[in-house]
């Protein structure tokens, strides 16, 4: 259960208030602002200022500070990377369209092992049919063991927009660890 508290205030029109309070009254969260240099956040075992929200003294922008991630300005948190909403929507439409008009090409290599699966989107309204590469699954081997798999997603111009790499570590012939790395590229 979280204890919710309301700070007390003395309101006065000379400081932006709407009335003059004769004695401390409870803060109205629908009306009143709290003026502070910053806010520190604590846990049951902390009593410090290593996790806080404050203003950047140079840019005057809201920033978040913690002992693990360091300092991040609000613009870095909300607009600092990843797919834009429009790019995500386009990628999502492209992925869902695959169920209706796609074909897979299986590429075999040495020893008749599957090395790659290329997924193409087919435009049924063109003649001859046109196919665009939309996804690849690349399989790498060491000896007889699969050591990594890369999943690559392309946009409508066949430019890479996302790559997920899975690396498999074996110890004495048994799978010991899987490492996953995701890379997102925003195409111009």
Please state, in angstroms and rounded to a whole number, the distance separating the CA atoms of residues 37 and 53.
9
> Where would I find the beta strands (DSSP E) of the chain?
8-9, 25-26, 38-40, 52-55, 62-66, 70-73, 102-108, 114-123, 130-142, 145-154, 160-171, 174-184
Joined together, the tokens standing for residue 66 give 């913690």
CB-CB contact of 119 with 136 (8 Å): yes
Number of Cβ within 10 Å of residue 16's Cβ equals 10
Residue 99 has pLDDT above 70, yes or no: no
- Separation of alpha carbons 133 and 119, rounded Å: 6
Distance, CA of 143 to CA of 136 (rounded, Å): 22
**The pLDDT value given to residue 137:** 93
Domains and their CATH numbers in the chain: 49-80 (no CATH), 85-184 (2.40.128)
Question: Can you give the pTM of this predicted structure?
Answer: 0.46
180 pLDDT more than 80: yes
Mean pLDDT of the chain: 79
Spatial contact of 176 and 159, defined as CB atoms under 8 Å apart: no
Percent of the chain, pLDDT > 90?
11
- Give tens-digit pLDDT for 142-170: 888 889 999 998 887 888 888 889 999 88
Contacts of 156 (CB under 8 A, 6+ apart): 90, 94, 132
pLDDT at 150: 93
| pLDDT at residue 23 tops 70 | yes
Q: Closest Cα to residue 181, out of 160, 157, 164?
A: 164
Average pLDDT over residues 43-64: 83
pLDDT digits (tens, 9 = 90+) for 101-145: 678 889 998 888 999 999 888 776 777 777 888 889 999 998 888
């Amino acid at each position: 259960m979280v204890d919710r508290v309301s700070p007390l205030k003395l309101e006065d029109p000379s400081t932006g208030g709407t009335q003059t309070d004769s004695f401390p009254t409870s803060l109205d969260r629908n009306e009143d602002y709290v003026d502070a240099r910053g806010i520190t956040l604590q846990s049951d075992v902390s009593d410090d200022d290593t996790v806080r929200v404050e203003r950047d003294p140079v840019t005057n922008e809201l920033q978040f500070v913690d002992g693990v991630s360091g300092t991040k300005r609000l613009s870095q948190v909300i607009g600092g990377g990843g797919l834009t909403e429009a790019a995500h929507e386009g990628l999502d439409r492209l992925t869902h369209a695959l169920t209706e008009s796609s074909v897979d090409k299986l590429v075999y290599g040495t020893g008749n092992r599957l090395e790659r699966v290329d997924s193409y989107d087919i435009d049924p309204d063109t003649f001859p049919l046109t196919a665009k590469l939309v996804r690849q699954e690349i399989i790498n081997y060491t000896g007889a063991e699969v050591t990594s798999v890369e999943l690559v997603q392309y946009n409508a111009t066949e430019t890479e927009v996302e790559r997920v790499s899975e690396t498999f570590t074996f110890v004495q012939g048994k799978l010991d660890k899987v490492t996953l790395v995701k890379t997102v590229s925003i195409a111009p």
